[in-house]
């Protein structure tokens, strides 16, 4: 028999979808797909987005269900850019099935994601987030009894070198050049400017004096790692009993925690009311936050309302607290302190540190939103809401399937195979010891036989 040589083969002219080589599918995405279809996700988003599309004009555009699914893929796969989302979806048959693409359909280009996002208003994304929140609430994953609030930082898609002065429009480099010329250097080099900027006194970048030309909504802020960037400040209001995020607004990065607390609580109360768990003065919801949210005026405004505060209290700088006749603030501060020092209050603070920080780690770090690749705070918030909706769906999937992300499914599969191999090896060692044979020979024999 002569040896056959590989010289290449002619491709088939017509190949059906069933004949194409492919994997059996992804257990996580298949289960999530069934969950969304059974809940009527596509019909809901098409009804929400219908007013923003023309009845008949040209070729059909990107379906809304596919648009929101692709951003969910961005969260579950930890992809920050929309180009990366398109590439990942094009590379996987399982994700093509999740996007409900036909045999000859192509994965939508990243430009379609941008066009669809600009066409759909911010309110449509909020309704989709509310739909997911209602879906998890129907499964009992929203208690509405204890809400933890905290914030983080998100780097904006703008560089500090693009900032200009608000009064004159002078760039930072032009300012350094002018200062160098005033000091006697007629033609300063880059090294001269860097040296001057490092040594000059009173160096400070204030948002009152500087703004970005590429993203005016971004603000100069210190990040969690100590660096300074143009950034935004996302806030999470998390159900401490289940870990579900009930509100996720994005505020300017130069606003303090006490300033952003009221808008965050308003969004949380509105979303809880939509799922039938609105806090009332008769049945208030516990508000758990760190000492950055502690202020006399804030506690006085919240006292006796729908929020029962358990906010950490910073240590006084010196001496005793002075109230200057403000008895309402005194009573609110002491009542918050008493609730905070109780056993329930200590447990709530521990839960806040666990649940709220975990939500930021999932959405910002693992979910790919630590740096924004879009510009404009409302534009960034559109995509951020869908990532947070994916986080809530992940908690629901963990309750139904046992795994909240595709990576957990893959890790569990590898761990299962490792346990089986370990058990087989252990059984071989035990049998070998019973028969009096060396253990390494007993383990090597099955490997050679295989």
pLDDT tens column, 70-110:
999 999 999 999 999 999 999 888 898 899 888 778 888 89
The domain in which residue 437 lies consists of 406-449
Residue 328: is its pLDDT beyond 70?
A: yes
Instruction: Place 288 in a pLDDT band, splitting at 50, 70 and 90.
Output: very high
Percent of the chain at pLDDT > 90 equals 56
Query: Are 444 and 371 part of one and the same domain?
Result: no
Whether residue 6 is contained in a domain is answered as no
Within a domain: 9: no
Within-domain flag for 430: yes
Mean pLDDT of 105-122: 90
Based on the domain organization, do 200 and 272 belong to the same domain? no
pLDDT tens for each residue of 10-40: 565 666 655 565 556 678 899 999 999 999 9
Q: What is the mean pLDDT of residues 119-132?
A: 95
Are 280 and 263 within one domain?
A: yes
Whole-Å CA distances, 321 to 37, 309, 324, 332? 58, 20, 10, 13
pTM (2 decimals)? 0.84
Is residue 257 domain-shared with residue 326, that is, in the same domain? yes
What's the mean per-residue pLDDT of the chain? 85
Distance CA 55, CA 259 (A): 43
Q: Assign residue 293 the CATH number of its domain.
A: 3.30.420
Co-location of 104 and 192 in the same domain = no
DSSP 404: S
Does the pLDDT value for residue 365 go beyond 80? Answer: yes
**Residue 311, strand partner residues:** 289
Q: How far is the C-alpha of 381 from the C-alpha of 374, rounded, in Å? A: 10
Report yes or no on 147 lying in a domain: yes
Residues 298, 332: one domain? Answer: yes
Same domain, 322 and 428: no
Residue 221 lies in a domain: no
The percentage of the chain sitting over the pLDDT mark of 70, rounded to a whole number, equals 84
Query: Are residues 177 and 108 located together in one domain of the fold?
Result: no
1 lies in some domain: no
Q: Give tens-digit pLDDT for 201-241.
A: 777 788 988 999 999 999 999 888 888 899 999 999 999 99
Q: Is the pLDDT of residue 449 over 70?
A: no
256 with 341, same domain: the answer is: yes
Mark whether 193 and 338 lie in a shared domain.
Answer: no
Residue 241 belongs to some domain of the structure: yes
CA–CA separation, 33 vs 76, rounded Å?
A: 13
pLDDT value for 68: 94
Give the separation between CA 44 and CA 418, rounded to whole angstroms.
43
- The answer to the question of residue 390 being in a domain is no
Comparing CA positions, the residue from 89, 72, 51 lying closest to residue 132 is: 72
- Who's near 169: CB < 8 A, 6+ residues apart? none
One domain, residues 45 and 95: yes
Q: What's the number of domains the chain is made of?
A: 4
Do 278 and 186 fall into the same domain? no
- Which residues have CB under 8 Å from 173's CB, separation 6+? 161, 193
């Amino acid at each position: 028999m002569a040896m056959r040589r590989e010289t290449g083969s002619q491709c088939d002219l017509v190949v059906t979808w069933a004949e194409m080589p492919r994997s059996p599918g992804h257990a996580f995405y298949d289960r999530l797909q069934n969950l969304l279809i059974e809940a009527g996700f596509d019909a809901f988003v098409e009804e929400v987005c219908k007013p923003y599309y023309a009845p008949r004009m040209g070729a059909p555009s990107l379906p809304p269900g596919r648009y929101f699914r692709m951003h969910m893929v961005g969260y579950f796969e930890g992809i920050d850019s929309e180009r990366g989302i398109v590439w990942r979806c094009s590379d996987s048959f399982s994700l093509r099935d999740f996007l409900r693409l036909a045999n000859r359909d192509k994965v939508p280009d990243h430009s379609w994601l941008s066009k669809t996002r600009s066409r759909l208003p911010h309110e449509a994304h909020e309704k989709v987030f509310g739909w997911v929140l209602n879906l998890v609430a129907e499964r009992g994953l929203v208690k509405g009894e204890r809400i933890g609030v905290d914030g983080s930082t998100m780097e904006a898609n703008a560089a500090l070198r693009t900032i200009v002065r608000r009064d004159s429009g002078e760039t930072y480099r032009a300012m350094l050049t002018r200062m160098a010329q005033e000091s006697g250097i007629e033609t300063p080099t880059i090294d001269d400017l860097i040296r001057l900027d490092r040594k000059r006194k009173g160096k400070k970048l204030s948002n009152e004096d500087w703004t970005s030309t590429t993203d005016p909504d971004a603000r100069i802020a210190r990040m969690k790692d100590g660096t300074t960037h143009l950034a935004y400040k996302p806030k999470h209001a998390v159900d401490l009993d289940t870990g579900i995020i009930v509100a996720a607004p994005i505020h300017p990065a130069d606003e303090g925690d006490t300033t952003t607390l009221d808008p965050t609580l308003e969004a949380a109360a509105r979303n809880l009311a939509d799922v039938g768990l609105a806090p009332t003065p008769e049945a208030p919801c516990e508000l758990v936050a760190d000492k950055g949210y502690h202020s006399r005026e804030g506690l006085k405004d919240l006292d006796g309302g729908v929020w029962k505060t358990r906010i950490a209290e910073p240590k006084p700088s010196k001496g005793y607290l002075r109230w200057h006749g403000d008895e309402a603030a005194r009573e609110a501060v002491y009542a918050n302190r008493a609730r905070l020092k109780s056993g329930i209050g200590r447990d709530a603070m521990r839960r806040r540190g666990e649940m709220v920080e975990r939500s930021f780690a999932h959405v910002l770090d693992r979910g790919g939103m630590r740096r924004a690749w879009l510009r404009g705070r409302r534009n960034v918030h559109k995509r951020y809401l869908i990532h947070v909706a994916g986080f809530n769906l992940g908690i629901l999937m963990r309750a139904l399937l046992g795994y909240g992300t595709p990576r957990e499914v893959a890790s569990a599969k590898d761990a299962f195979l490792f346990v089986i191999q370990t058990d087989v090896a252990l059984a071989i060692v035990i049998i070998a010891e019973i028969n009096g044979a060396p253990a390494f020979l007993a383990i090597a024999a099955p490997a050679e036989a295989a």
